Chains A and B, each alone.
Chain A
Amino acid sequence: MIADAPHLDLVMEPELSVVLFRRTGWSADRYQEWSDAALAAGTAFVVPTVHDGETVFRFCFVNPTTTEDDIAAIIAAMG
């Protein structure tokens, strides 16, 4: 899904349930702003992290009730 999103790049192929990806064109502050706004709105809790010195987004999948529709909605909101 991330590979299909024109505004996102996969940082590395995931091995377990953590997925790192970048939102092209965004600064570190922009990542944080998006994260804060999404949490305030109650739509998602996704936070940026730093990998090899670069700010990227990180999905941690743990909850078995998370659906592809959930992820699609979050990805669309990052557009």
Chain B
Amino acid sequence: MITPDGLGYEQAFALFRDVLAPACISSDHPRYLAFVPTAPSEAATLFDLVVSASSIYGDWWVEGAGAIFAENATLRWLADLAGFPEGAGGVFVSGGTAGNLAALTTARETWRRRHGAASGWRWLAPSAHSSIRLAAMVTDVEMVTVPGDNRGRLTGPALRNACAAAAADGITVFAVVATGGATNTGIVDDLAGAAEVAGEMGVAARGRRLRRGGDGVHHGPPAVRRRGARRLLRGRPPQVAVLAVRLRGHRLPGAEAGRRRTHPARRVPGDAGRHGRVEPERLRHPHDPPRPRATAVVQRRRPRHPRLRPGGHPQAGTGTGRRG
């Protein structure tokens, strides 16, 4: 299949069409109800093509200012829908596994910076997604499962008992993982109750504080936009520090795990100016295609190094992107 000279377009496409694609299930069929898949709109699919063909990525500001700007604006929109405060931040990742790992690592790192190292890290995860267990394994912390109520939800009283038991054992609890939509049932934990207990523990005699993360498997926008979901999620207090929303309907460039852009906790959606001092106009490749419209706001600036863009302003030309 992999040959020194390559298969060529036709044979490669035939291989996809006749062998590989039939061995997959398209997840956007209206009767695909098995899992929580992607269901991108035609516009999203088309724009994925545009972004891929543009060969841009949102790894860091110098190269991906426009994409990062769009990402930040989208995060701000989501934060507003969920009723999060101005200081809320986040980052799009490839899925729940990367999101939960990022959120919980951030929680622990924040604890560490404020209080110094501690032994016996422990999370409390009631109806935890499997990715929580994976993150616990990766970061070498102990995870405690709190018994749910008759619907399987984490409740404040059960969490309070578990936290008290942990404190009695001399264990440092640095995060409570509550879900904004369990994978198997769609059940939303008692987020307000969990946050209340976390706050109580934060002022406990032992000086331990709890960081709060959120695990929402049900596609950020559709779930958050529903009135009921918004009501449930609004139970979260303004101290919530990490927004770990899994977004699948449309991928943004660079939305893969392992980006080294900016620490999630320090990113502030909508405040793009904090993320870079280099104007994006300065680093345009001569063969770059026109930028997507989402970057229009930052394109207003005058380029300081026009020599890097010998083709002239992309929007003044034919619009095809490639020149010469």
Contacts and interface: CB of A to CB of B under 8 A. Distances in A.
Interface of A: 12, 14-20, 39, 43-47, 49, 51, 58-67, 70, 73-74
Given A47-B34, A66-B33, A18 B219 contact: no
Interface residues of B, number: 29
A61 B229 CA distance: 14
Contacts of B188: 15-16
Contacts of A39: 25
Contacts of A49: 184
Contacts of B31: 43-46, 66, 70, 73-74
Contacts of B182: 18
30 contacts: A12-B151, A14-B186, A15-B181, A15-B232, A16-B229, A17-B186, A17-B223, A17-B226, A18-B186, A19-B186, A43-B31, A44-B33, A45-B29, A45-B34, A46-B31, A46-B33, A46-B34, A47-B34, A49-B184, A58-B34, A59-B33, A62-B36, A62-B38, A62-B222, A63-B32, A64-B222, A65-B30, A66-B31, A70-B30, A73-B31
A74 B181 CA distance: 24
A67 B30 CA distance: 7
B284 interface: no
Q: Interface of chain B, helix or strand or loop or mixed?
A: loop
A47 B25 CA distance: 13
Given A15-B188, A17-B186, A18-B186, A60 B30 contact: no
Contacts of A65: 30, 39
A49 B183 CA distance: 11
Nearest to B249: A62
Contacts of A14: 186
B185 A12 contact: yes
A71 to B, nearest CB: 8
Nearest to A19: B186
B220 to A, nearest CB: 12
B228 interface: yes
Interface string B37-61: 1110000000000000000000000
B81 interface: no
